[in-house]
Structure 1
Amino acid sequence: NLNVPVLIQASSDDIEKMDRVHRRDAFCGKISVTSVLYQYGIPFTLTKYHTCPIKSEIFKEDLKRFEKICSIVKKLRSVRLGQIGTRPNAFETVRYSEKILEFNGISIEPIDLSEIFGEIRRLPDSDPNVKEKIQFIKDYTPTTTFPEDGILKLAKLSVIVENWVLENELDGFAFQCWPSIQDNFGIVPCAVMSMFSEGLVPAACEVDIAGLIGMYILQVATETPSAILDWNNNYGDDPNKMVLFHCSNLPKSFFKDTKMTIHPIISDLKGDDHSFGAIQGRIKSKPCTLLRIETDDIFGEIKALLVEGNYTDDPLETFGGYGVIEIPNLQDVLKTLCKEGFAHHVAVTLNKVGDIVLEALSNYLGYNIVYPNESI
């Protein structure tokens, strides 16, 4: 019942000191240790090289990697996530099993949107926290325009959600970002969600709790903001490139340049006066890791799709938060995505941490991990 990550390290022998007094034989001893741990069903992590000096840069990197693995395992066993509202009616893709998550230590704290709206109505426009948040929003990113009513609504929403997050000790939340909030409050919450994600409280669109868990895992692995995007478009005829897009609530650190503007899709449905607050820009050209978590009710397990790739500088003119990504064997990844029933959302970090995530989720937490591009 050890139930914690274990790192196995063996010190290297010095070929100039192989006499009876100095020879360590840790090379062999490590194999004996791992054999017995395996027999007792105790999972363990290995160093990059079978042996290495304790005082070395190589082992220092092993320790840094192991620290991240430990952090993911520890935090996922007691994470608390919020759910604001219910999923959009058509989004059956983001359904999840709360029972499976709770069994694995992941707690969900729901709140109805009507409760959020009620708290906003009771919050005076003159409240000091609202005034402070208005300035924060204006400083966060450039805007195409400053509709004062829209900024005020975003500020009040941000204050109320922040209070709820703190009161419930939440590590992140998923939000019903359409259509109710446009009909009943007249904004899109994308900018507010972007600010939370940038501040390391991940916020997922469309009440995608499983997507939020992926965001949280990648954030813990990197200590940097993560985002949620759609597997959205092909990129010409290149079989290993595609467009990742959302409309968008990405954290501002993801972008080369960004601005706050009207949400073009919501504007078509509800009009400009109900669609201010989207964050738009091109994603930086950087290495990345993509993770999709699902609760598989058929098999009663948590499973995940895990791949690595690179955002590129390939030309693209579109809207929202977007970028061209290159993934080795992308067509195999997409086949797996479809055949295994994964949703159209995926969590992304602008770092390569696939090996860390794989070790934590598969070896210690028992998630069923699929990684079809074999680069991890």
Structure 2
Amino acid sequence: MKNVPEVKLGIIAVSRDCFPMELSANRRKAVVEAYKKSNGNIYECLTTVENEKHMEKALEEVKEAGVNALVVYIGNFGPETSETLIAKQFNGPVMFAAAAEEKGNNLINGRGDAFCGMLNASYNLALRNVKAYIPEYPVGTADEVANMITEFVPVATALLGLKKLKIISFGPRPQDFLACNAPIKQLYNLDVEIEENSELDLYAAFNEHANDSRIPEVIASMEEELAEGNKMPGILPKLAQYEITLLDWMEAHKGSRDYVVFANKCWPSFQTQFGFVPCYVNSRLTARGIPVSCEVDIYGALSEYIGTCVSQDAVTLLDINNTVPDDMYESEIKGKFNYTLKDTFMAFHCGNTAACKLTTRTMKNQMIMARALEPNQEPNITRGTLEGDIVPGDITFFRLQSNADAELTAYVAEGEILPVATRSFGSIGIFAIPEMARFYRHVLIEKRYPHHGAVAFGHHGKAIYNLFKYLEVKELGFNQPKGMLYKTENPFE
């Protein structure tokens, strides 16, 4: 994934001046050893912080080492002022964790009281209006703190990515698609930049790439990826031209930002003017870590990018689309999987899911658009979708959204795609999320979410939920288990 940041971890231990500094330093060494053993590299700052001068020296050391995500480790009670100033002055995500006591026969000179120090650290962070990532239970042994750091990495990756992200959009939301319209003020609150352009800008740039010398190379790449699914080879030159157009625009318009995603209009005039649908190109860029959301869904693109950072994998954006028919449930799901009919649904989009996430991949035309634009004739301008059933396995369904009042809200739910043939069209799968019916009613409908949801492949709910908590979303919904009522849920069956 070239369009996401690389986390370079560092750790600084802190020590209260009335406790032995060696206690905190030795515990830090143990954490570093535990993390390196099973997870990867972390820069160990050898300056243990007791005061503000130490704090400045330690920050200079991690800065010189290229650290962009930091762990403040409370090895003993900790110095309240200087430890929170570390987080205030460090330019990047910061996690706080504390040491558990080690031996029952060493609770005099070997007792650190970091359990107490963690409370004071959190209080002082609040006094200074400093954000920090604090694990669910932030006190532990060296191995446990190493695991906490592992869980911090995907959150830190997303935070670093958002800080350097630009969303580039083309065109207004299509008519009757106000579901994808949301106030952009919250983007700036997240440090995300946005560049909004006209479809004419995109069309002019596309025409300037006619006969581009790179087109044959991109066609060859498409042919290799599609293989036997290359059923409409005549459309590939236009799709290749469009892919190059977007990538060149990305490089030319990054500005001060390092990472870019797109939110592009894709109907109804796109087909009549460009002569194809852009779905396959969207899928190819998304597979490279450059999500391209459909229908100018700005917050959909933002959500996809978060999923990319967290999962380090391709994601997709799908409509929460249609129910599973009773007969299909009875014959292919009931008794084979532990879900009710109302736990299941089909999620679909025209053809924007990466080839690596489809069980089969076939180039087709967009059937829904063809009904209006090319009825009863050989498809031409509606060609360009990548179709197939989405690979079965664990998924996380989520979205970060600005509501009509410009308040940041979010939801996250874990589930799976079932290994059941959809018998339908587009990029599509049969999804199962526990207690989906209640989640659909009391989160998706009641909280006014649009029909688009981002899909990360794998169970990443913990990291995404922690990220949304860090971003201080006003409401954070999830699929609550049976017996845990939503606020507005009728308790009487």
TM-score, normalised by the number of residues in structure 1:
0.91
Q: 1:367 aligns with which of 466, 473, 483?
A: 473
* Secondary structure of the structure 2 residue equivalent to 1:279: strand
8 Å CA contact 2:389–2:421 kept in 1: the answer is no
* Secondary structure of the structure 1 residue equivalent to 2:214: helix
Between 1:201-210 and 1:116-125, the stretch displaced more is 116-125
Q: Aligned equivalents of 2:363 and 2:187: distance in 1?
A: 35
Q: Aligned equivalents of 1:7 and 1:124: distance in 2?
A: 50
- Corresponding residue number in structure 2 for 1:89: 175
- Corresponding residue number in structure 1 for 2:115: 27
Q: What are structure 1's unaligned runs of at least 5 residues?
A: none
> What amino acid is aligned across from residue 79 of structure 1 in structure 2?
L
Structure index of larger Rg:
2
Q: 1:15 aligns with which of 83, 103, 111?
A: 103
State yes or no: 1:254 paired with 2:357. Answer: yes
Distance change >3 Å, CA 174–CA 260, structure 1 → 2: same
- Corresponding residue number in structure 1 for 2:371: 268
- Corresponding residue number in structure 2 for 1:131: 216
8 Å CA contact 2:231–2:362 kept in 1: the answer is no
Distance change >3 Å, CA 145–CA 113, structure 1 → 2: same
Q: Aligned equivalents of 2:240 and 2:473: distance in 1?
A: 38
CA-based RMSD: 2.2
- Corresponding residue number in structure 2 for 1:292: 399
Distance change >3 Å, CA 31–CA 160, structure 1 → 2: same
> What amino acid is aligned across from residue 132 of structure 2 in structure 1?
F
Between 1:252-261 and 1:238-247, the stretch displaced more is 252-261
- Corresponding residue number in structure 1 for 2:188: 102
Q: 1:206 aligns with which of 292, 295, 319?
A: 295
8 Å CA contact 1:311–1:325 kept in 2: the answer is yes
Q: Deviations over 1:76-125 (max 9, x none)?
A: 23420110222211211111212332343222112222232223333342
CA deviation after TM superposition for structure 1 residue 200, in Å: 0.5
- Corresponding residue number in structure 2 for 1:44: 132
Structure number with higher relative contact order (C-alpha < 8 Å, ≥ 6 residues apart): 1
Q: Aligned equivalents of 2:463 and 2:392: distance in 1?
A: 22
> What amino acid is aligned across from residue 177 of structure 2 in structure 1?
F
Distance change >3 Å, CA 50–CA 192, structure 1 → 2: closer
State yes or no: 1:327 paired with 2:430. Answer: no
8 Å CA contact 2:361–2:386 kept in 1: the answer is yes
State yes or no: 1:307 paired with 2:413. Answer: yes
Q: Aligned equivalents of 1:14 and 1:190: distance in 2?
A: 56
8 Å CA contact 1:143–1:261 kept in 2: the answer is no
> What amino acid is aligned across from residue 28 of structure 1 in structure 2?
C
CA deviation after TM superposition for structure 1 residue 49, in Å: 4.5
CA deviation after TM superposition for structure 1 residue 252, in Å: 1.6
* Secondary structure of the structure 2 residue equivalent to 1:257: coil
CA deviation after TM superposition for structure 1 residue 314, in Å: 3.3
Q: Aligned equivalents of 1:145 and 1:132: distance in 2?
A: 16
* Secondary structure of the structure 2 residue equivalent to 1:304: strand
- Corresponding residue number in structure 2 for 1:180: 269
State yes or no: 1:112 paired with 2:198. Answer: yes
Q: 1:62 aligns with which of 148, 158, 164?
A: 148
CA deviation after TM superposition for structure 1 residue 350, in Å: 0.5
Q: Aligned equivalents of 2:249 and 2:243: distance in 1?
A: 10
Q: Deviations over 1:128-152 (max 9, x none)?
A: 2111111122122235555454111
Q: 1:154 aligns with which of 228, 239, 244?
A: 239
* Secondary structure of the structure 2 residue equivalent to 1:347: strand
Distance change >3 Å, CA 188–CA 7, structure 1 → 2: same
8 Å CA contact 1:362–1:369 kept in 2: the answer is no
Q: What are structure 2's unaligned runs of at least 5 residues?
A: 1-84, 327-340, 482-493
CA deviation after TM superposition for structure 1 residue 15, in Å: 3.2
Q: Deviations over 1:14-60 (max 9, x none)?
A: 33433412233333333333344345444433345553232x2x333
Identical positions, percent = 23
* Secondary structure of the structure 1 residue equivalent to 2:425: coil
* Secondary structure of the structure 1 residue equivalent to 2:167: strand
CA deviation after TM superposition for structure 1 residue 372, in Å: 3.0
Q: Aligned equivalents of 1:33 and 1:161: distance in 2?
A: 46
8 Å CA contact 2:231–2:363 kept in 1: the answer is no
Q: Aligned equivalents of 1:19 and 1:117: distance in 2?
A: 72
Q: Number of matched residues?
A: 370
